[in-house]
Amino acid sequence: MTRKIGSTRESKRRRIPKGIIHTRASFNNTIATVADARGQVVPWFPAGACGSKGAKKGTAFAAQAAAENAIRTSINQGIKRAEVVITGPGPGRDTAPRAIRGSGVALGLVRDITPMPHNGCRPPKGRCI
């Protein structure tokens, strides 16, 4: 009897005690991704998969719904503790960690790794008249 490695049945049974929740909040969408301690993605939910379409995907409410869906799925797989990594300038950067905190998962660390320019790009050449 051969068993496929990485099949969906096997990944559903995998227990994950600690995870990392990555929240990518742009102005157009928010994506909540849950990874295990080794960095392998378990579930991920964009705001569009939670019922928000078009411009509503970039709202704080859609980010909260995406984070709740990702947490609910990962709690079923056994996550008790989590770290949160936030990236991006969108409106979901505050509400997604609040939804995670209210779900009952113990938060260990909340990091913001939004890239910030130190000096920015070189400005365009001045106009010659």
- The residue ranges of every structural domain in the chain are 16-105
Give the contacts of 70 (CB within 8 A, at least 6 positions apart).
21, 32, 33, 34, 43, 44, 45
Cα separation, 47 vs 61, whole angstroms: 9
The pLDDT of residue 15: 85
pLDDT, mean over the chain: 88
The pLDDT of residue 8: 55
Q: Does residue 34 register a pLDDT over 90?
A: yes
The pLDDT of residue 9: 54
The pLDDT of residue 4: 56
The pLDDT of residue 6: 52
Closest CA to 106 of 81, 71, 77, 78: 81
- Say if residues 96 and 30 touch (Cβ distance below 8 Å): yes
- Average pLDDT (66-82) is 92
Q: Does residue 112 register a pLDDT over 60?
A: yes
Is the four-CA dihedral 85, 91, 92, 97 of positive or negative sign? positive
DSSP letter (8 states) at residue 122? P
The domain made up of 16-105 has a fold known as Nucleotidyltransferase; domain 5 (3.30.420)
The pLDDT of residue 69: 94
